[in-house]
Chains A and B, each alone.
Chain A
């Protein structure tokens, strides 16, 4: 069986950043496995600009951002196998993969970085009533058709869900000559970035209807129309509020789900909130030596943070190979949270093993104004920051200093709390 020290599953932004960081940490036996025919993942179809503001201090398009990381990986001579699908990951870190030249093969890895990204929530998962004609696409599929394949999926469009991909596609389809009639959003707020609402909808006079959903899809062969209705506070459609739109296309932009079939198969413990692995301060999953980063861990809104997180995972994977798994001194302190926070990554922190400055990322469950985020260690406040506004669509973070946490000797509790200002 082939052996590699660090095997990275996925060659998108997370996988590339992890590979580069593992190399720079001194690791030379690295392999990236990518199922597509090129590196860069979903960035290749995200041709709009706005990527990389944090990392490169300039606004790049998706392909340009991907290329910068691909060049770094190529310059280091890191081995990448493209067109290669990973079929299975076992708990002893044996990776089973296949491609057209090598057939099926197995690799024994000392450490694995999960970087498989996420998938769009499908119509089936949304339970939209109505017929099942052609013309219903996820926003990302439409994005691929328009930007990569060069096809227009439709001419008269309704979009359900105001996630960023849906907003971006509202503009893209409009520019390519389609008539985007309305974007309906189930929630009373948009899950997309404010900038996208203004520059993709307002700029083109496309209405955004909050607290609305699709209640019927018509058309036997091809979509001929959809009906949307307002919903009440329990997300139930309100009778009498139905509006009909003639259209040939319905795009769905209703959330992303981390793609963890391989992780589950290996027995990695998955968080029911993020649908990604539960990880400790080193982004290590419940299986020692298996790390996770990027959208497979939790869905991000900015790729810069994917790269940053994945670089940490890559460094930690290299350190794991070098040092082996240090015997568990303790299981780490659970990160607890209050005040509207839905989850944190990581979910446990070991003050011995954490790096000097560690980022804890989290999301809130509703829009909240004028809040203070506080961190308590053993009940004592060690950090606070004001937030004018917090929204479910925008990831939050706090930085924890190792020296500060170690002052407590034994860290018993670590709590992040959102309080009213």
Chain B
């Protein structure tokens, strides 16, 4: 039996959650005061994921923009965040860029594309 402590992000209460696990199986969630805490805790201990956002350099912008903001098109495993950001270092795209344009496909082998979140002319 392993115990993990989390703070729920569902609302400002910030309930201190204790998750009891056996291997990768969640045995119990305590400390939550509503069902949202239970759902959050189970996801967070078994498969924590995040959208990663960053910005990369852009060249040839008519408006003089130096960067374009980007994000992973869907969640990536939390443990991969630094790898994803490192893989974006040195990436340069050429203007024009539209929202949703793929900047790097299958970043760090996650199967997830990094896409532009800003339009640059």
Q: Please report A residues at the B interface, Cβ cutoff 8 Å.
A: 37-38, 44, 47-49, 59-64, 67, 146-150, 175-176, 193-195, 197-199, 202-203, 369, 388-391, 393-394
Per CB-CB distance, the 9 closest pairs between chain A and chain B, nearest first, are A47-B69, A63-B118, A195-B9, A61-B117, A391-B12, A194-B14, A175-B85, A150-B67, A389-B13
**Please, how many angstroms separate the alpha-carbon atoms of A388 and B54 in the complex?**
35
Cross-chain contact A67 with B55 (CB below 8 angstroms): no
Most A C-beta atoms less than 10 A away, residue of B13, B52, B55, B63: B55
The reply to whether B13 and A175 form a contact with Cβ atoms under 8 Å apart is no
Contact B54–A47 (Cβ < 8 Å)? yes
| Residues 107-121 of chain B, each 1 if its beta carbon lies under 8 Å from chain A, else 0 | 000000000011100
B42 at the binding interface (Cβ < 8 Å) = no
B39 adjacent to chain A (CB < 8 Å): no
Smallest Cβ-Cβ distance to A175: which chain B residue: B85
B12 x A394 contact (CB < 8 A) = yes
Expressed in whole angstroms, the Cα–Cα distance for A311 and B72 within the complex equals: 31
Task: Decide if A148 touches B53 in the complex (CB within 8 Å).
Answer: no
Q: Which residues of A contact B7 (CB under 8 A)?
A: 194, 197-198, 202
Does the CB pair A49–B71 fall under 8 Å?
Answer: yes
Q: How many residues of B contact A (CB 8 A)?
A: 30
Contact B67 A198 (CB under 8 A): no
Nearest CB in chain A to that of B54: its residue:
A175
Contact A393 B12 (CB under 8 A): yes
Cβ–Cβ contact B63 & A37, under 8 A:
yes
**CA A25 to CA B13, docked complex, whole Å:** 40
Q: Is the CB of B50 within 8 A of A388?
A: no
**Cα distance, A195 to B52, chains bound together (Å):** 15
Q: Tell whether A389 pairs with B67 under 8 Å between CB atoms, given A49-B51, A63-B117, A176-B85.
A: no
In the complex, whether B78 has a CB less than 8 A from a CB of chain A is yes
> Looking across the interface, which residue of chain A has its beta carbon closest to that of B6?
A198
In the complex, the chain A residue whose C-beta lies closest to that of B7 is A198
User: In whole Å, how far is A397's beta carbon from the nearest beta carbon of chain B?
Assistant: 15
Residues of chain A within 8 A of B54, CB atoms compared? 47, 175-176
Select from chain A the residue with minimum beta-carbon distance to B121.
A38
Asked if residues B12 and A199 are in contact (CB atoms below 8 Å), the reply is: no
Residue of B6, B33, B57, B99 touching A388 (CB-CB under 8 A): B33
Residues from chain B with Cβ under 8 Å of A389 in the complex: 11-13
Query: Which residues of A have CB within 8 Å of B9?
Result: 194-195, 198-199
B95 at the interface (CB under 8 A from A): no
Which residue of chain A has the shortest Cβ distance to B65 in the bound complex? A148
In the complex, chain B residues whose CB is within 8 Å of the CB of A37: 63
Using Cβ atoms and an 8 Å threshold, which residues of chain A touch B12?
193-194, 389-391, 393-394
Interface residues of B in 1-60 (CB under 8 A from A): 6-9, 11-14, 33, 50-55, 57
Chain B residue at smallest Cβ distance from A45: B69
Which chain B positions have C-beta within 8 A of A198? 6-7, 9
Give Cα A67–Cα B13 distance, bound, in whole angstroms.
Answer: 33
Q: How many Å from the CB of A65 to the closest CB on chain B?
A: 10
Cβ of A199 and Cβ of B50 under 8 Å apart?
yes
Chain B min CB distance to A301 (Å): 10
Say whether B102 faces chain A, with CB atoms less than 8 Å apart: no
Contact in complex: B53, A47 (CB < 8 Å): yes
Q: How far is the CB of B58 from chain A (nearest CB, A)?
A: 9
User: Can you show 8 pairs from A to B with CB atoms below 8 A apart?
Assistant: A38-B63, A47-B118, A49-B71, A61-B53, A61-B69, A194-B12, A194-B13, A198-B6
Residues of B within 8 Å of A150, CB to CB, are: 55, 57, 66-67
Given contacts A146-B55, A194-B14, A388-B33, 11 further A-B contacts (CB under 8 A): A38-B63, A47-B54, A47-B117, A61-B117, A63-B117, A149-B67, A150-B66, A194-B11, A195-B9, A198-B6, A199-B9
Complex: how many Å from CA A61 to CA B12?
A: 22
Query: A49, B53: Cβ atoms under 8 Å?
Result: yes
